[in-house]
Chain A
């Protein structure tokens, strides 16, 4: 690593540290070791991303807090990939007045498949990190970015759908609505506050790492000695030594 890189990273005006993750062209030619470390950085990003996804699987992704005069402490609803926690019973009970379906009936398929989905995303992400060649390496970001996005879209779909399929025979008739997914909303006497929870942020962090990995990866591939022969599969599997290819 160059002396420049060993020194404490400079802070930009905004106070953030801007790391130079990929070596510049001049550095690339001067330091072969640094080049390999960059390869490892890609692997670390990929593995860390998958790890974060795995942890996020066990953590709540979204939280709703509902305040009403008679609930001064508020009611909580925490959504995770496999289910929901908090005051589900009480919220269901209140929802029956406006004819909303039980929360547990929502997204059943998604919740059953979530485990396989996370596993698949992990495997695909790792495979892309290790195996994908120059032509496929950008695909690395797809499953990772899709993971939190699909969750968001799917949650929105269910919120919309439950807010628009109110039982017309319910005691209280209210206009169809979509519960707020971000920030504050109001349903009847309830002030609602929705925000992402740890799981979601972990997944976002995981996705960011995957994106960083992909960006670094493309630099790595661009400077790779086997760039000419590389196609769908990385001939060095990212980390193998840069030895000549045997005939």
Chain B
């Protein structure tokens, strides 16, 4: 519209004053809105309100579709990766209100996550080092969180657990949705970064984590001149123990991959159950060298018109590992390519070009790959792929002996979706929705009959990931879709040069997609997110008295009302403390400088939303004490002085009075 107008004025006038054009357009829009408001036929007051707020009928409809009045609740949860914040954002749909930020890889002080309580151990377990490195592992307290994945049963979300990966430090975390808190961080011993994670198999037997930037397995040093020989990709299959709610590293194993830059991944389901698919780019194995005038990796890695989709028969891999065919590297069982390739566990298929998203269709019969530098979404046929692997119909092998399946015989078709296709999600009617980055649109097309995009919806701007209601399960809901835009530019009030991201809610219930709400994400750049029906989650309202929220069982050291005490044993001081409106018992603690202090603090509250907090000033300590929760706080009283301790959550009318003193007597000189 805009382009035609400007083109016309160019041709007519032989020149154009842009400001005038923009002015005209705005005027035009305003007139449209005015006209629409007049046509609504709504009550006079509503019409006046629309006029006063400069809203048209479509705006009002969007408002009605998204407004959730007080006392009513959202229909869906979104679990969004918090990107560089390292934490998970929980958002309600359709209101697009932030419900919670769950501390995962990064200390979160409201939840007391990583500020002296039991969760410190969770963060500690995510420390990373390099194989064979004698130094202490680095304390890592941030993450580049990418892809949250909800636990599944038979390919459908079951609302029990959430898995997230940390691209920067190759880690996976487990969040228990019983209390929305992080239970485990697993540090990958092999990869130096990850991207294809955390994707779950249909019954959450495994959480898949695939490396991104190749490095020697175990991250040991090797010069870049040995890139092809020593650098590798790797896919970890983390075994998830649902009863314990933990990943079991001892039962987990890995697959060695060629040093292509593996990207997104997905686990097969239904027809493709037992298989996993991983994209790659930089099959050129470019390593840059810009300072020496060599081409940067961005161009070096974009020379080939085809990269490789990795096809993994993980069920077979599992049996090979069980049969002892794996090699131990950095303490982990790794099925190397010399074993996996001849067995057909690992195969490659060409995919155009530097692709990004790799998404299995709800029926499990196809995999949709977004071309990124190619304008197509390519649809691979699972049945054809299985038959080709079975018959070992390879058209060749790569430098690592991995068989390459013929591209043309592996696909169902291609759909031209636009410039820069990335990720694809699905609805319940056989439609696929592909995020098209460069064009900043959502392209809707049918994955049943590969119709060309029936529809494109402009989003603002540079859409990365995309999600729809349960849109990557075996039974998507349709209904809602969210465009996760990397740029917001002119959509929100300016807040300085670092702009919020923009989540745009799209209504899928009508004939056409409709944009109905914008939500600024002002705490990081989210990547993938998932949307789950709210009634699938049954979170706790209070903890069972004395619960350790990391173990989710009653802590053996929890304090009980009437049995509070301070126990001194040499220079070890143990405090059994309770918190209840509006006091701590004990509320006076005196220790000697240098004592090792442990405070077991338990909330005796039982009513929902009666939360306390506990801090000792200047000691960098804060825990959150939800009803029934116990926290074990250990530290050295290395700083003599007088320190108030108090409740950090406004708990009651006498909240300010919920205080006490922690005294540290100086050593005698």
Hey, which bits of chain A sit against chain B, CB under 8 A?
65, 67-70, 72-74, 167, 169-173, 182-184, 188-189, 191, 193, 195-197, 201
In the bound complex, CA of A171 to CA of B487 (Å): 22
CB pair B373 A70 closer than 8 Å: no
A244 to chain B, nearest CB (A): 50
CB pair A189 B303 closer than 8 Å: no
In the bound complex, CA of A183 to CA of B6 (Å): 9
Our pick among A65, A69, A167, A184 for the contact of B439 (Cβ within 8 Å) is A69
CB pair B7 A193 closer than 8 Å: yes
In the bound complex, CA of A193 to CA of B11 (Å): 10
CB pair B302 A70 closer than 8 Å: no
Q: Which B44-91 residues sit within 8 Å CB-CB of chain A? A: none
In the bound complex, CA of A189 to CA of B487 (Å): 16
Q: Which residue of chain B has its CB nearest to the CB of A192?
A: B3
User: What residues of A have a CB within 8 angstroms of the CB of B295 in the complex?
Assistant: 169
CB pair A69 B373 closer than 8 Å: no
Q: Tell me, yes or no, whether B299 is within 8 Å of chain A by CB.
A: yes
Q: Tell me, yes or no, whether B410 is within 8 Å of chain A by CB.
A: no
In the bound complex, CA of A44 to CA of B416 (Å): 61
B97 to chain A, nearest CB (A): 27
CB pair B299 A69 closer than 8 Å: no
Pairs A–B under 8 Å by Cβ, sample size 20: A68-B440, A69-B441, A69-B460, A69-B461, A70-B440, A70-B462, A72-B461, A167-B299, A169-B303, A171-B299, A173-B305, A183-B11, A188-B419, A189-B419, A189-B440, A193-B3, A193-B6, A193-B10, A195-B10, A195-B14
Asked, given contacts A69-B440, A188-B419, A193-B10, whether A171 binds B3 with beta carbons under 8 Å apart, the answer is no
Q: Which residue of chain A has its CB nearest to the CB of B18?
A: A65
A59 to chain B, nearest CB (A): 13
Our pick among B10, B11, B373, B440 for the contact of A171 (Cβ within 8 Å) is B373
CB pair A184 B373 closer than 8 Å: no
User: What residues of B have a CB within 8 angstroms of the CB of A197 in the complex?
Assistant: 15
Our pick among A169, A183, A201 for the contact of B299 (Cβ within 8 Å) is A169
User: What residues of A have a CB within 8 angstroms of the CB of B438 in the complex?
Assistant: 68, 188-189
Q: Which B421-453 residues sit within 8 Å CB-CB of chain A? A: 438-441
User: What residues of A have a CB within 8 angstroms of the CB of B489 in the complex?
Assistant: 70, 72
In the bound complex, CA of A74 to CA of B3 (Å): 11
Q: Which residue of chain A has its CB nearest to the CB of B420?
A: A189
Chain B: residues with Cβ within 8 Å of the partner, total of 33
Q: Tell me, yes or no, whether B667 is within 8 Å of chain A by CB.
A: no
In the bound complex, CA of A74 to CA of B489 (Å): 12
Q: Which residue of chain B has its CB nearest to the CB of A196?
A: B15
Q: Which residue of chain B has its CB nearest to the CB of A185?
A: B7
Further contacts, 7 of them, CB under 8 A, given A65-B6, A171-B373, A193-B3: A67-B2, A70-B462, A72-B490, A169-B300, A171-B354, A184-B7, A193-B10
In the bound complex, CA of A67 to CA of B460 (Å): 14
Asked, given contacts A70-B489, A184-B7, whether A170 binds B299 with beta carbons under 8 Å apart, the answer is yes
CB pair B18 A74 closer than 8 Å: yes
A144 to chain B, nearest CB (A): 20
Hey, which bits of chain B sit against chain A, CB under 8 A?
2-3, 6-7, 10-11, 14-16, 18, 295, 298-303, 305, 354, 373, 419-420, 438-441, 458, 460-462, 487, 489-490
User: What residues of A have a CB within 8 angstroms of the CB of B11 in the complex?
Assistant: 183
CB pair B3 A191 closer than 8 Å: yes
CB pair A195 B3 closer than 8 Å: no
User: What residues of B have a CB within 8 angstroms of the CB of A170 in the complex?
Assistant: 299, 302
A152 to chain B, nearest CB (A): 13
In the bound complex, CA of A91 to CA of B241 (Å): 52
CB pair B18 A189 closer than 8 Å: no
User: What residues of B have a CB within 8 angstroms of the CB of A73 in the complex?
Assistant: 490
User: What residues of A have a CB within 8 angstroms of the CB of B301 in the complex?
Assistant: 171
User: What residues of B have a CB within 8 angstroms of the CB of A196 in the complex?
Assistant: 14-15
B160 to chain A, nearest CB (A): 39
Our pick among A70, A167, A171, A188 for the contact of B461 (Cβ within 8 Å) is A70
CB pair B15 A201 closer than 8 Å: yes
CB pair A184 B6 closer than 8 Å: yes
Q: Which residue of chain B has its CB nearest to the CB of A72?
A: B490
Among A65, A67, A184, A195, which residue has the most Cβ atoms of chain B within 10 A? A195
CB pair B3 A184 closer than 8 Å: yes
B582 to chain A, nearest CB (A): 53
In the bound complex, CA of A74 to CA of B298 (Å): 25
B500 to chain A, nearest CB (A): 15
In the bound complex, CA of A224 to CA of B301 (Å): 75
In the bound complex, CA of A152 to CA of B298 (Å): 36
User: What residues of A have a CB within 8 angstroms of the CB of B441 in the complex?
Assistant: 69
Q: Which residue of chain A has its CB nearest to the CB of B22?
A: A73
Asked, given contacts A170-B299, A171-B302, whether A193 binds B440 with beta carbons under 8 Å apart, the answer is no
CB pair B10 A183 closer than 8 Å: yes
User: What residues of B have a CB within 8 angstroms of the CB of A67 in the complex?
Assistant: 2-3
Among A70, A167, A183, which residue has the most Cβ atoms of chain B within 10 A? A70
User: What residues of A have a CB within 8 angstroms of the CB of B302 in the complex?
Assistant: 170-172
CB pair A184 B419 closer than 8 Å: no
Asked, given contacts A169-B295, A189-B439, whether A195 binds B15 with beta carbons under 8 Å apart, the answer is yes
- Nearest 9 CB-CB pairings of A with B: A69-B440, A171-B302, A184-B7, A70-B461, A191-B3, A195-B15, A183-B10, A189-B438, A189-B419
B483 to chain A, nearest CB (A): 12
In the bound complex, CA of A193 to CA of B440 (Å): 20
User: What residues of B have a CB within 8 angstroms of the CB of A193 in the complex?
Assistant: 3, 6-7, 10, 16
User: What residues of A have a CB within 8 angstroms of the CB of B6 in the complex?
Assistant: 65, 184, 193
User: What residues of B have a CB within 8 angstroms of the CB of A70 in the complex?
Assistant: 440, 461-462, 487, 489
Q: Which residue of chain B has its CB nearest to the CB of A65?
A: B18
A114 to chain B, nearest CB (A): 22
Among A69, A70, A171, A191, which residue has the most Cβ atoms of chain B within 10 A? A69
User: What residues of A have a CB within 8 angstroms of the CB of B419 in the complex?
Assistant: 188-189
A145 to chain B, nearest CB (A): 18
Among B6, B11, B441, which residue has the most Cβ atoms of chain A within 10 A? B6
B504 to chain A, nearest CB (A): 13
Q: Which residue of chain A has its CB nearest to the CB of B489?
A: A72
In the bound complex, CA of A182 to CA of B9 (Å): 12
A204 to chain B, nearest CB (A): 10
In the bound complex, CA of A22 to CA of B169 (Å): 84
In the bound complex, CA of A6 to CA of B195 (Å): 84
Q: Which residue of chain B has its CB nearest to the CB of A170?
A: B299
B610 to chain A, nearest CB (A): 48
In the bound complex, CA of A86 to CA of B136 (Å): 52
User: What residues of B have a CB within 8 angstroms of the CB of A167 in the complex?
Assistant: 299
In the bound complex, CA of A170 to CA of B301 (Å): 10
In the bound complex, CA of A131 to CA of B182 (Å): 91
In the bound complex, CA of A197 to CA of B18 (Å): 12
User: What residues of B have a CB within 8 angstroms of the CB of A191 in the complex?
Assistant: 3
Our pick among B10, B14, B300 for the contact of A184 (Cβ within 8 Å) is B10
B20 to chain A, nearest CB (A): 13
B490 to chain A, nearest CB (A): 6
User: What residues of A have a CB within 8 angstroms of the CB of B16 in the complex?
Assistant: 193, 195
User: What residues of A have a CB within 8 angstroms of the CB of B460 in the complex?
Assistant: 69
In the bound complex, CA of A196 to CA of B301 (Å): 39
A163 to chain B, nearest CB (A): 18
User: What residues of B have a CB within 8 angstroms of the CB of A188 in the complex?
Assistant: 419, 438
CB pair B7 A183 closer than 8 Å: yes
User: What residues of B have a CB within 8 angstroms of the CB of A189 in the complex?
Assistant: 419-420, 438-440
A136 to chain B, nearest CB (A): 33
Q: Which residue of chain B has its CB nearest to the CB of A184?
A: B7
B67 to chain A, nearest CB (A): 27
User: What residues of B have a CB within 8 angstroms of the CB of A172 in the complex?
Assistant: 302, 373
User: What residues of A have a CB within 8 angstroms of the CB of B300 in the complex?
Assistant: 169
In the bound complex, CA of A237 to CA of B664 (Å): 106
User: What residues of A have a CB within 8 angstroms of the CB of B14 in the complex?
Assistant: 195-196
In the bound complex, CA of A72 to CA of B303 (Å): 31
Q: Which residue of chain A has its CB nearest to the CB of B418?
A: A189
In the bound complex, CA of A196 to CA of B461 (Å): 30
